[in-house]
Structure 1
């Protein structure tokens, strides 16, 4: 019995030691926007340098989804997760002496973090992928300005590593952070030296982040931040949902009408200029074809809605009502099953804001021989 007690104590001590070791390990986010993969290549070297310190872990995420095969599998970060890290290394292409549009849009969504002082005292470092190299210092300084407003502790790259770089070719080294001059011909970018400098920057940053761990408060913000900061364009890409062009009216009416904060939309199953699966259920088309038509119709509704809110689906507050009208025979009763496709798509796109009141009914015919028509009401900002 005494031996069993001793074994139990040893196991308990081992678990406690493991938990304490995990708690002392710093976690750093390498947050990037990358167009052609140059910034991502630097990010991998930064992360490698960070993880050369056994007490620090690095995770690479991007601010928005990308169709570039090199970047397709990199997870997308949310604004509200930023305070959970012990440090953040920011990477971006240089856009005309400034940070990239993608990174700028992401940072513009951090207002709630700023008002809650959620990033104050957290260490940050920056790196960039430049074109010709012109404007790289201006861009790095612009990055620093944005992070300074948050009260982050900015860690420069200093002059480390300059003794060993090849000075026969232009290199992207700066004291503010490593860059890579991506557009120069006949030289692989990032160069071997630029990669080495990025690795050194990661090492230096990891050491500082580990030293500062626990010295600043990780203030968690409301979960509503993630909902407000959701980039619907990225969400649609991730879910492989492609919105069609807004169908043009076939008569003297508008695709939508806004009255106060309500938007009213009616659409049929138009796809690429033609009615998808036209006709009457049970005569010309089957249930599966009508469900496909219902999905196409709802995509048209969302495309019109996006136009109604000026391209920003973040302004949608609630799907209030959907009404599905189906071209069916008199004895058909499973209208709700057909409409579930449209309802499920709405919730998939808008989450809780997509849950709605609903009506479904049959009709002896529908304009332009569509098998379905959907009427929608949305509340918007």
Structure 2
């Protein structure tokens, strides 16, 4: 619908009344029409303006209109990636590129769950995971990074959202690498217009852009047979990156595969090492067969996950998201006993609440203690007090106010 509006306004120089734009759709699509108006306004593709007579109207952004005309009418400079290439002796089809992208991306996910693959990932990719807060370093020297609660939430996303989030975090560090942010962003959006299964030239790329290409290669967004190869193939991850297509999957093995029983046993019908590693984050693995893995949810396995920053609700969401189709026929999908126990195990860690404060003690008289205690209580900064021992604790934020009040009181008396 938005594309329809844009194309009808593209060659209209003056503003168009909003009533005219509304008339382009049937009344039964009013909801979609309003959502479209909000989206186009949020993207600043058009803006609201006033027509002669006070009528409200819409006008396209001049910059957007000019550039879209160039793109549609064949103007502007041709992209260097379209330079002529000889026929590739090692041509790659869409199936190969999908498999390659899946393997490269799963290397990153394997590392996050602690199941290091043979190929592994570079130190640069590890730095991005740490920068994004998806993993954290333990205090012990020489220890490996551990997944955080944000990292586990990241694993619950669909692949397209994962890649988009990861690339955004990478772009946040790009200037510290000496790369041009605008150049890299432009190239990323150009990738979304390329064709899956076709090779493109690297001729004319700057050194910084070639380095950026190697990083995309590691993440599975592009394929290059050799580092110095003069051609590259975009994968589905790169082509769908800027399109918002969340339903375009690299594999068909993403259907639900988990069955949870009331005896805390978990049956996972999968051959994927990554999916097994995800379960091992909060399950004690017992048996492994060619297409079936059996684990059990124990207090210790859940506490270990909680210590790593994973929450009980995230575990519950994971079990719901990946539930086997047979399990989905039941209501609830996960037995209530399991849900309640997971939350209870989490509450075991929340028996104490730690609050930073400042201790006041050694009062000469009970009246001084009572006076200062009442003042702190009125301010709302009193955390704890013991009148019999003339001891009280105030919050750190309120310490300065209470201290000034006490000094004034002592000077006056």
What's the TM-score bracket when you normalise by the shorter of the two chains?
A: under 0.3
> Which has the larger share of strand?
1
> Which has the larger share of helix?
2
**TM-score for the superposition, normalised by structure 1:** 0.24
**TM-score for the superposition, normalised by structure 2:** 0.23
Rg larger in 1 or in 2?
A: 2
